[in-house]
Amino acid sequence: VPFGVIGEDDMVELVLDYNDLMRIPLVNDYIRKSNQEAIRLRAGMGGEVANQDYYNPGVLPKIPGRIYYLFGKPIQTRGREEMLKDKQNAKELYLQIRTEVESSMAYMVKKREEDPYRGIIERTVYGATSTTVHQVPTFEP
């Protein structure tokens, strides 16, 4: 089932990325030591991808926004196992799924921009001024 999610960027603010962390001497040493002692998940790969360090970026929580989910129509793969062993067929299925996800995300971005209850203040005011049986409205797909 292809699905898209919009709004996770509304949860935290990135304040320190990898380059920022590596400029802090103690943190730099810690990241390097931790990565030397860690299991290399990309050991069989070459180039820059194999040498990427694992780190936790510095983030601060934001006032929560809404997260929008949209699930698409299921794409049947049962009975197509042999057909999908062919790279071209697998690529076509991948592109179909990717197109579905991208279109659902574009749709949700549009709906998020139109959402009058996107912010926590708007949702709180609605909740305080409506009856207890009413929830804050969501968008209709």
| pLDDT number for residue 15 | 93
Task: Please report, for residues 10, 31, 33, the alpha-carbon distance to residue 37 in angstroms, rounded to integers and kept in the order given.
Answer: 34, 10, 6
Q: What is the pLDDT of residue 133?
A: 75
Structure tokens at 126: 């609605």
Residue extents of the structural domains in the chain: 1-11+64-141, 18-56
Q: Following DSSP, what letter does each residue of 18-53 receive, concatenated?
A: HHHHHTSHHHHHHHHHHHHHS--TTTT--HHHHTPP
What is the residue-averaged pLDDT of the chain?
85
pLDDT at 49 over 70: no
- Tokens describing residue 57: 């970026």
Which pLDDT score, from 0 to 100, does residue 6 have?
87
pLDDT of residue 33: 92
Does the pLDDT at position 16 exceed 90? yes
**Torsion angle defined by CA atoms of residues 87, 93, 94 and 99, in that order, rounded to the nearest 10 degrees:** 150
User: Above 90 in pLDDT, residue 55?
Assistant: no
